[in-house]
Amino acid sequence: MRVINTEQLKSILANLPSNPRVIASGNFSAPRTLLKIADEVIPEFRLHMLNAHGDIPDRDGITYETAFVGPAMRNHPRLEYIPSRLSLLPVLIRNFYRPDVVFLHTSQQRFDTVSLGTEVNILPRSIETARAHGGLVIAQSNKQMPYTYGDAQIYDSEIDYLVEVDEPLQEKPATPVTDIQAQIGSRIASLIEDNSTLQLGIGGVPDAVLMALKDRKGLRIWTEMFSDGVLELSRAGTLDDEILITASFIFGTNELYQWLDLNKKVRMLRTERTNDPSQIARQAKMTSINSALEVDLFDQANASHVRGRIYSGFGGSTDFIVGALHSRGGQSFVALPSWHPKANVSTIVPRLQSNITHFQHSYVVTEQGVAACFGHSQNDQAINIIHNAAHPDVREELVAQASEFGLI
């Protein structure tokens, strides 16, 4: 590994092959210094990031690639969406989307390593693929990035060039939990037992679930990502102290990032480990909690498309739903409000007209109630969804549609 400055980096990037593929740290860990220089000196390139947020290069000559569309790429005319469940994305990178250069956002050096900090995900596979096929691995080493353990630890021999920076990490803004989210979270929490293992995403419902679990004991975390709610559970003594907290990326407040730094109770793993359904299935009482935009009477959920256009992607939802249902005592929740206030329509629909993101859940949960699905016939599933999850204003219409489908 060679430590260089930004002027030296410009010369290196200017000599990349024509229209190179750049895979960069995504989510809330974008390597902004590296991306800014790439924007300045590389005429054309393909930028591959997971769930890109914030200010990323955007001009003619830059094509976006992703398997999970974040706000920075959403509805973009130069976006190429790659359909893939997250557990399989490393396979696609190894075989089909090989990087010419990998941009990492890392901690400062510690002995002969740096850490990927808050974002591991697909980066280990990207590093391995670049090195196997003559690509470059370039890190921006940030004083403010926490040093985390597990697959986050990268030896300096795996990195070609390192640029030292000092820039603040993106923090999660404070967003109050709404009354509807609190109701949904409370209903889900009431079905979670002591000693369960949790997978939660980001947002009001996961936050509400965690707030309602502080009286539990022996909870474990095996998840794609977590935020400050897990820190609160740790402080409340709710978590099993003997089991490591496992995740692949993290987003939260600066307080959370400080808690993460050199915290050996947190283990950061690569995507193909955290999201492997067989690994998920081995966790005790694995409990998967995912959101959706709409659910139909066949327990099929759309969580990825709006008006037929890609909004996000599969993410890890399919991996965790399958893994949870194979876990002894496991369960899978899909959570959503029963009514979409902006569109003024029911989120429980007769049959999905959009893309199906995931299906076969233990429960569909809205503020109206909890509809049991797994272990029931399709007829009973439909009846449960209508009477326990759908908004009262559409139940009569849904009953009529269910009758037409032969479900009632």
Per-residue model confidence (pLDDT) at position 407: 96
- pTM for the model stands at 0.96
> If DSSP codes are grouped into helix, strand and coil, which group holds residue 152?
coil
pLDDT band at residue 173, thresholds of 50, 70 and 90? confident
Confidence band for 336, pLDDT divided at 50, 70 and 90:
very high
Long-range contacts: 215-218, Cβ < 8 Å, 24+? Answer: 216/192, 218/194
Q: Where are the domain boundaries for CATH 3.40.1080.10 in the chain?
A: 2-165
Please, are residues 318 and 301 in contact by the beta-carbon 8 Å criterion? Answer: no
Share of the chain above pLDDT 70, in %: 100
Q: For residue range 124-138, list pLDDT tens digits in order.
A: 999 999 999 999 999
Let me know if 376 is exposed, middle or buried by CB neighbors in 10 A (0-12, 13-18, 19+): middle
**Residue 203 — pLDDT band, cuts 50, 70, 90?**
confident
Query: In the CATH hierarchy, which fold is given to the domain comprising 179-224+275-404?
Result: Glutaconate Coenzyme A-transferase (3.40.1080)
Task: Examine the pLDDT at 60 and tell me if it is beyond 90.
Answer: yes
pLDDT at 98: 98
Note the pLDDT of residue 147.
98
What pLDDT does 174 receive? 79
- Per-residue pLDDT of 15-38, as tens digits, reads 999 999 999 999 999 999 999 999
- At 345 the pLDDT is 96
Task: Report the pLDDT value the prediction gives residue 202, as an integer from 0 to 100.
Answer: 77
- What is the overall mean pLDDT for the chain? 97
- pLDDT for position 18: 97
Q: Given the structure tokens 């492997």, which residue do they identify?
A: 276
pLDDT confidence of residue 170: 93
CA nearest neighbour of 102 among 13, 223, 165, 212: 13
Helices 228-235 & 204-211 angle (0-180, nearest 10): 0
pLDDT in tens, 65-88: 999 999 999 999 999 999 999 999
What is the distance between the alpha carbons of residues 169 and 128, in angstroms, rounded to a whole number?
26
Average pLDDT rounded to a whole number, residues 349-365 = 97
Of 144, 159, 171, 210, nearest to 27 (Cα)?
171
Angle at 38 between CA 34 and CA 41, to 5 degrees: 140
Residue range(s) in the chain whose domain bears CATH number 3.40.1080.20: 179-224+275-404
pLDDT in tens, 256-294: 999 999 999 999 999 999 999 999 999 999 999 999 999
Q: What is the CATH number of domain 2-165?
A: 3.40.1080.10
Residues tagged active-site = 224
For residues 387-408, give the mean pLDDT. Answer: 97
Query: Angle at Cα 331 formed by Cα 87 and Cα 70, nearest 5°?
Result: 40
Q: Distance of CA 384 to CAs 169, 284, 369, Å?
A: 44, 27, 10
Q: What is the pLDDT of residues 105-118, one digit of tens each?
A: 999 999 999 999 99
The answer to whether 163 touches 2, Cβ cutoff 8 Å, is no
- What integer is the mean pLDDT of 379-403? 98
Give me the pLDDT at residue 172, please.
84
